[in-house]
Chains A and B, each alone.
Chain A
Amino acid sequence: MATQPAEFFRRVRIDQSGSAVLFGVLAATVGSVASAVYGYLSGAASLAAVQEMVQQMPEEQARFLRFFTQGMTGGMTLAQILLAPLLAVIGIYLNAAIVHVLLLLFRGAPRGFDATLTVVGYATGLQLLLAVPGCGGLVAAVWYMVVLIIGLGEAQRCGPGKAAAAVFAPLALACVCCCGALGVIGAGSSDLLKTLQQAADAAKGQGTNL
């Protein structure tokens, strides 16, 4: 599935989406648990440095960063581990639903929701890469997109163009919104950059690598 997605999804059975969901849930759970444990173990070292940085920032931005530092605590790690399977099921179904309605919008879903759910379920199996420290999350995200586009093109028999349009439409919408927002705030962004620069300088002064 990961290395030859076209061949796999051309022949995959779409009437057994439960197996695909189970595969995705198991892999995503293992990946999330490994990622949470690794984050907890490595987080303690960077926690102090991030908290130093937070003190230099305006309240809104500080709260944003503080949320991520709180994610490094034991309680949040435990919650992340316990909720991983449930969140994986919800993520797979909601993701499949969003992709499927967008495929319908582009007239690219002739084989129904089960085909979309099967592809999303198996593609979610790549979340296993979250277990790889450092770049695992990024690799998983990119690989997931590639497999999803190829898989939807094959399983739905709609071709990679419509599949890519359906997968990238939410991202494109988000980009349009962000560009619009950046255009609106205009000069305000320079203040943000200045603040980030000051915070980075302060952190450098403390001898951190952030």
Chain B
Amino acid sequence: MSGEAASGAGEGAPPAAPPARRFGHPEVFAAIAALSFLVARFLPVLALPYTCPSKGLLGLPCATCGMTHAFVALAHGDVLAALQANPLGAALAGGAWLYVLLDLLRLALGRPFPPLPAGRLRAATALGVVALLANWAWLLAHQAQG
């Protein structure tokens, strides 16, 4: 999905290796992911008096409840706590921060962003939707148990 990949992520055009840009869309996403790590690691985000509307009004967690806790726990190296807070959040945080490292490595090596075939992105999206629903079911079951 991104910048250079964007050209390849279209469905009609065949994936091609576009010229490398200094700061394209992949780097913007990497910067956002890096920022999420810095915020989770160094800012007291859990001290914010925020309650999820679904949890606050209905008493039930939404599909993304616990993601902040998962990001913060993983940023502090507590993998188990991150998985307990929100398994998908832990996976998302880990994936995002791994992407930052890979993108930095790619830039250091001067390689272009690899083309992303639309079919694979489509499959990944479908998998993501299923994972989100499964994660929500897990959160509901977790609350019912606890």
Residues of A within 8 A of B (CB): 60-61, 63-64, 66-67, 70, 89-90, 93-94, 97, 100-102, 104-105, 107, 109-115, 117, 173-174, 177-178, 181-182, 184-185, 188-189, 192
How many B residues touch the partner, as a band?
A: 35 or more
Q: Would you call B28 an interface residue if the criterion is a C-beta within 8 Å of the partner chain's C-beta atoms?
A: yes
List the B side residues contacting A100 at CB < 8 Å: 1, 9
The complex places the Cα of A110 from the Cα of B63 at a distance, in Å, of: 30
Residue from the list A102, A114, A188 in contact with B7, Cβ < 8 A? A114
Residues of B within 8 A of A (CB): 1-3, 5-13, 25, 28-29, 32, 35, 48-51, 53-60, 62-63, 118, 121-122, 124-126, 128-129, 132-133, 136, 140
List the A side residues contacting B140 at CB < 8 Å: 184
List the A side residues contacting B62 at CB < 8 Å: 174, 177
Beta-carbon nearest neighbor of A176 in chain B: B133
User: Are A64 and B3 CB-contacts (below 8 A) given A104-B122, A177-B63?
Assistant: no
Question: How many residue pairs bridge A and B at CB < 8 Å?
Answer: 108
Beta-carbon nearest neighbor of A188 in chain B: B59
List the B side residues contacting A110 at CB < 8 Å: 10-13
The 5 closest A-B pairs by CB, nearest first: A113-B6, A64-B56, A112-B10, A110-B12, A112-B6
Contact between A64 and B125, CB atoms less than 8 A apart: no
Interface of A, helix, strand, loop or mixed by DSSP:
helix
The complex places the Cα of A188 from the Cα of B12 at a distance, in Å, of: 50
Most buried by B among A60, A111, A112, A189: A112
User: Are A101 and B10 CB-contacts (below 8 A) given A60-B59, A63-B51, A63-B56?
Assistant: no
The distance from the CB of B60 to the nearest CB of chain A, in whole angstroms, is: 5
The complex places the Cα of A107 from the Cα of B11 at a distance, in Å, of: 7
Residue from the list A70, A101, A184, A192 in contact with B121, Cβ < 8 A? A101
List the B side residues contacting A189 at CB < 8 Å: 58
**13 A-B pairs, CB-CB below 8 angstroms?**
A60-B51, A60-B59, A61-B57, A63-B56, A93-B25, A97-B2, A101-B128, A104-B1, A105-B122, A109-B118, A112-B7, A113-B9, A192-B59
